[in-house]
Chain A
Amino acid sequence: MRTVPEPASNRIERAEPFGYPPRAVFTQQATDMPSANFFAALRAITGTERCITDPGLLLAYECDAITHLRTTPVAAVLPETRDEVVRIVQLCAQHGVPLTGRGAGTCLSGGAIASPGGILVAFPRMNRILQVDAANRIAVVQPGVINARLSQVLRPLGLAYMPDPSSQTACTLGGNVGENSGGPHCIKHGSTAASVLALEMVLADGSVAHIGHARGRTGGPDLRGLVVGSEGTLGLVTAITLRLERIPSTELTLLASYRDMRAACAAVSSIIAAGILPSALEALDDRTIAALEASGRESGYPRDAAAVLLIEFDGEAAAVRAEADATIALLHKADAIAVDEATDAAQRARLWRGRKGAFGAMGRLAPDLYVMDTVVPRSKLPEVLPRIGQICDELHLRLANVFHAGEGNLHPNISYDGRNPEEVQRVILAGKRIVELCLAAGGALSGEHGIGTEKLDYMPLMFDEASMAAMHTVREVFDAQKLFNPGKVLPTPRICAESAPPRHRGPHA
């Protein structure tokens, strides 16, 4: 049996893939190719059509939404049933071939790319909604169901699945479980973990585990909560039981504009400190607004504002009104230029169109966009945001901010040209400095996009050796052979030792 190779160290090189301009990318090289027998056995499980090995077709799978991190899988398979997943896992275990689960590939941390010499197990064909139990407000779905599709199906029943990543029209529920994804409405209703009741999961030995329970508690340790957000490193999820909520009877959206981002952040801090819990509290800066204008998306955001806050309340009408009134007073107290209120569905939809289209609009500013993800305590937003601006100015980078302000979850977005390796290095350096800044402010590495390969090297900045070792222990218990998505989330102990804080080298240097 072949042992699964640890990922070769990331290295920069000029890659010249077909069809789009060359990019400076960090590729991981396979050290070993699986045998011809392996591929034959793989095809025997899924058939040739659902086992992609053609190098041209595999290009579609070589990166996720963070495009400077790439690995070409040796194959991509598209199972249709749980039994096929079991057989694929067993085959990979037998041949020591690493495997990575893949939903829509919208991951923003390089977590949905194959490990060197490994295959991708992509779930677009396991996309059935298996059950909607309206009486208990539960849905059971396969992992390939697209997030927004579930909401569409639920709407006529008066029910909603609350976690709503901005990528919800593309991303899958399996991917959401992999990352414990958040979204604009997670401040009140919780990230994915709060909505996942149970999981069916194929383990490294090919057995099927049922983790968690539709009723909520299991009477023992919460393995379900451990698996959600483990980025596909503990097993492959084949069914998900989700908690649903009633569609709220009233929604009210506010748009507050500010002369500078610091004042907007101070308003956010004061809303949180007052104990008000909106269903969304998002911030966008002037560069994002300009990008939206340039892209032709009609959002209605004021052009002269340096920052806007998009705030929503849901619930019963009288409660919503009371919270909105208290918030409006705080927004004015923090020197808002204007506060507008949208009550009808069309106005609300227009305001949200801007927020949901922000990444797309920014994508038009430059060939590449680096969407960063860090978190700070909400009270630290007014001091951290301007510092992030300074870091990018010092490195001559174009920054725009659109983020989940109510949770302190920042998304500094850097537009850059990936064809210029020197600019890529500056982007990565900015990323490192931003991470260090946020950690120093009491923050964390990621609020919703995960560690993937992007932040692997930063883990020892946040966790001490014993805490990292405990995570490795969990990994070993689930998957001693390191079959599932190796090289993601947890740096190898060797890297840990080398990178004990303080560290002064770039993540991929």
Chain B
Amino acid sequence: MSAPATLFASAIGAAAVTHTDSGPLQGRHMPVVTPGNVAECVEVVRIAARERIALYVRGGGSEPRTAKHEGPAALLCTTRLDQVIDHARDDLTFTAEAGLGLTAAQALLRTHGQRLPLSSRHAASTLGGILTRDAEGWTRKSCGMVRDQILGCTVVLGDGRVITEGSRLVKNVSGYNLTRLFGGARAAFGVVLSLTVRLKAQPQARRVSWHGAANPAAAFALAAQMHASIADAEVVRVRIEHSTTGQKCAVVLSLAGAKARVDEACAQADKLAGAPMLLPAAALQEGGTPQCVIEVRPADTSAATQALLAQAHCGSIDADIATGTVELLAPSAPTWTTAALQTLDSSLRGLEALVTFPANPDAANLQRNCCATPNPQVHSLLRGMAQRFDPSGVLEPGMHSWK
């Protein structure tokens, strides 16, 4: 065993440490440490901080990544931190360890007529991964952003201290809201051990439908009409199935809620667009980790889609006109040449787009924020916090442009 593997094995047991040849992060072979409980996870972070072993964190592993770090390193896997800590059914809150998979959590809650207002296309995504990636899915329009659903969390900071922020309450302004800071931070400041999320009731009825359109422009026009006239639609998305031989366009509409209302809204939609093809609810979250996600202001969704269509020659594009999110879904990554990225950048610059490549192992380097103004103050504040929370810099080196 390599030195880091030995250290971790002696602290939490050899069974929790494996060494794969394939390399869990592209570009580097390193031991995979899978603590069996929160105390072991804290111990792993403390050892890493003391011994200056770089730690990369993996939840469900839906995002492949490359580790460029040269020194000793290990991959901390959270999947055994999967206990439900408190399901406060009557208070509509759910507290669980960060490695609990979203699919498992939703299955459990479904039996109680409840659900988490979170979504992912990847069956293995964990609650911790969704919080720390601020990973939005199809629930954003109807439930709000991920960051507004997470009420509190417990985190082991890079220096080994364990902190508990926020609460298990739906409303709380006591002290700084550090839970927000961990949202979207990946593991830059610490490893999330557990978190509390709001719950919602399962809708009484849902219908997901596919309304064909002649071309992208017609699909966007129809989607805009539906968005304007059915204010409470759960999802209004343009879908463009795109290949070298042609395009298939449609509006995917999801209506959910009280049965009477869903029936009424279905009639409204069908009057606008004719009888649709019905889809299973699971269709909203199929497709796997997107190859590219472009986020813009809602009114720019169509323009962002055009920019992506010009660069990505195969796969499907899902464009959510209510949230301004455009996703490219494809079984394999398109080659993002420098020239293609430059063209994408320049076509998106006026839109101030955020472009991420979740399924690409080189996502950290590819990510671009096509904003006109750089924001050095924000980076310096984030760097300042990372230096204090992770003074030995062991958490995910090379993964954050600002760290």
On A, residues with C-beta under 8 Å from B are: 133, 135-138, 179-180, 182, 186, 190-191, 193-194, 203, 207-211, 213-226, 228-230, 246, 248-249, 269, 272-277, 315-316, 318-319, 321-323, 375-379, 404, 407-409, 442-451, 455, 459, 462-464, 466-471, 473-478, 489-490
Contact = CB atoms under 8 A, between A and B. Distances in A.
B389 interface: yes
A209 B171 CA distance: 28
A347 B184 CA distance: 45
Interface in B103-121: 113-114
Contacts of B177: 180, 193, 225-226, 228-230
Contact of B183 (A221, A319, A445, A471): A221
A271 B323 CA distance: 30
B163 interface: yes
Interface string B182-205: 111100110000000001111010
Interface in B256-284: 257-261, 264-265
A277 B143 CA distance: 12
Contacts of B164: 463-464, 467
Nearest to A134: B299
Nearest to B354: A219
B323 A216 contact: yes
Nearest to A211: B378
A470 B389 contact: yes
Contacts of B144: 190, 194
Interface residues of B, number: 80
A466 B163 contact: yes
A459 B204 CA distance: 42
B174 A477 contact: no
A449 B200 CA distance: 26
Given A218-B354, A220-B185, A474-B178, A319 B261 contact: yes
Given A225-B183, A315-B232, A471-B176, A213 B354 contact: yes
Nearest to A407: B171
B43 interface: no
B377 A207 contact: yes
Contact of B148 (A193, A211, A442): A193
A179 B172 CA distance: 11
Given A208-B377, A378-B91, 4 more contacts: A191-B171, A219-B367, A226-B180, A466-B162
A135 B297 CA distance: 9
A219 B369 contact: yes
A402 B381 CA distance: 40
Given A213-B352, A221-B188, A246 B231 contact: yes
A474 B162 contact: no
A39 to B, nearest CB: 29
A319 B165 contact: no
Report, nearest first, the 7 A-B pairs whose CB atoms are least far apart.
Answer: A275-B201, A225-B180, A322-B258, A209-B377, A477-B384, A273-B90, A221-B185
A378 B92 CA distance: 9
A190 B181 contact: no
A210 B181 contact: no
B376 to A, nearest CB: 8
Given A274-B201, A375-B171, A217 B178 contact: no
Determine which residue in B134, B169, B173, B389 has the highest number of CB atoms from chain A within 10 A of its CB, and name it.
Answer: B173
Contacts of A274: 201
B79 interface: no
B173 A179 contact: yes
B274 to A, nearest CB: 22
A270 to B, nearest CB: 8
A377 B91 contact: yes
A217 B145 contact: yes
A228 B176 CA distance: 9
A273 B299 contact: no
A226 B162 contact: no
Contacts of B201: 274-277
B157 interface: yes
Contacts of A451: 173-175
Contact of B92 (A214, A275, A475, A476): A275
Interface in B351-380: 352-354, 356, 367, 369, 371, 373, 375, 377-378
8 contacts: A135-B299, A210-B377, A216-B145, A272-B91, A318-B260, A447-B173, A467-B163, A474-B178
Given A194-B144, A217-B184, A275-B114, A408 B173 contact: no
Contacts of A378: 90-92, 170
B320 to A, nearest CB: 11
Contact of B181 (A208, A226, A319): A226
A420 B177 CA distance: 37
Contacts, number: 249
B321 to A, nearest CB: 11
B393 interface: no
A217 B354 contact: yes
A211 B377 CA distance: 9
Nearest to B387: A477
Given A216-B145, A467-B165, A469-B161, A180 B381 contact: no
Nearest to B190: A470
A136 B322 CA distance: 9
B168 interface: yes
B136 A217 contact: yes
Contacts of B188: 221
Contacts of B145: 194, 216-217
Contacts of B204: 322
A220 B400 contact: yes
A181 to B, nearest CB: 8
Contacts of B199: 275
Contacts of B298: 135-137
B324 A470 contact: no
Contact of B168 (A136, A182, A442, A448): A442
B360 to A, nearest CB: 14
Interface in B226-269: 231-232, 257-261, 264-265
B261 A226 contact: no
A318 B161 contact: no
A490 B295 contact: no
Nearest to A316: B232
A209 B163 CA distance: 27
A210 B169 contact: no
B261 A222 contact: no
B253 to A, nearest CB: 15
Nearest to B355: A219
A138 B90 contact: no
Given A220-B400, A316-B261, A470-B161, A225 B181 contact: yes
B123 interface: no
Given A470-B163, A471-B175, A473-B389, A318 B356 contact: no
B19 to A, nearest CB: 32
Contact of A215 (B89, B113, B174, B324): B324
Nearest to A137: B298
A450 B173 contact: yes
A210 B373 contact: yes
B352 A215 contact: yes
Interface in B53-108: 88-93
A180 B174 CA distance: 10
B323 A221 contact: no
A316 B265 contact: yes
Contacts of B171: 182, 186, 191, 375, 404, 407-409, 447-448
A215 B178 CA distance: 22
A318 B172 contact: no
A229 B172 CA distance: 10
Contacts of B305: none
B167 interface: yes
B313 interface: no
Contacts of A273: 89-92
A459 B367 CA distance: 39
Contacts of A194: 144-145, 148
